[in-house]
Amino acid sequence: MPQWIALSKTEHADSDYLPRDGYAFAVNQAVAHVLVAELPKLLPHYALGFMQQGEGYQPVALLSLDGQNNLYLNSDGRWLGNYVPASLRGYPFTLANTEDGQKALCLDQAHLTSDQGEPLFDAEGNLSKKVAKTLDFLQQCDKNRQVTAASTQKLHEAGVIEPWPLTLERGEGQEPLKVNGLYRVNEKALNSLDAEAYATLRGGPMALAHAQLFSMSQLSQLSERAKFHAQHATQEVPENLDSVFDGGDDDELTLDFDS
């Protein structure tokens, strides 16, 4: 687990950091939190659902069948897909709440170094260009995370989120796998809302509801990815992963916030 430390231009003025090299840090990540702003890019590649968070819910992209092994990750840390969820792309940085309610830019301590990485701050004491760009990306994500949370809460209040008794086939000779702890949109309940309740879901909530429903067609991706990993556990991985699962790495620190 990351050990986050808040960055300070006095304490870390002469420190460097080791940039992220792939996504090996997410090897045991079963889900990725997602944002309303990235739904159009997520839909072709991920099955989406909800998980309970406190008294509400959090939308997530499913990455695993067994809750332990990220099926979108190659053994060398490359991401098997051409869109990486935004919640993973800021690493090794994150924004965290301080005791006074402010946001602090934090770095995973394992990536802090004194002489073999890239600078955290420039000669004038400002964040280096790369770190400043990452901070801007994280701030945009944080802003849209609030929109996403509000959208999810409206779906919850409308009573259209229900438990998802998900069972996935794993291939010949293997028992079907039951996935627990997931929730989905009840399409019948959504379509049965009266006009007033339906109107409260316009915009982000309705986009999120429809995205989750449409994304369920991507559930087969998880089974196919499990087969891929099983096959390549004993075989050489293709040198060109661009041909596997629409491979590629959308590593730009950008999001479409028009949604």
pLDDT tens digits, 161-172: 999 988 876 666
Gap between the Cα atoms of 212 and 60, Å rounded: 9
Half-sphere exposure of 177 (CA within 13 A, CB side): 16
Give residue 259's pLDDT.
Answer: 31
Give residue 82's pLDDT.
Answer: 87
Give residue 242's pLDDT.
Answer: 47
Give residue-wise pLDDT tens across range 91-138: 999 999 887 888 999 999 999 998 789 999 999 999 999 999 999 999
Gap between the Cα atoms of 66 and 80, Å rounded: 18
**Among 103, 85, 101, 81, CA closest to 39:** 85
Does 80 score more than 70 pLDDT?
Answer: yes
pLDDT band for position 183 (50/70/90)?
Answer: very high
Give residue-wise pLDDT tens across range 190-247: 999 999 999 999 999 999 999 999 999 998 888 888 888 887 776 665 554 445 565 4
Gap between the Cα atoms of 94 and 105, Å rounded: 6
Tokens, residue 186: 């009840």
Give residue 120's pLDDT.
Answer: 96
Q: Model pTM greater than 0.85?
A: yes
**How many residues are recorded in the chain?**
259
Q: In degrees rounded to 5, what are phi and psi of residue 59?
A: -70, 140
Gap between the Cα atoms of 10 and 224, Å rounded: 50
What phi-psi label fits residue 188: left (phi over 0), alpha (psi between -120 and 50 degrees) or beta?
alpha
pLDDT band for position 258 (50/70/90)?
Answer: very low
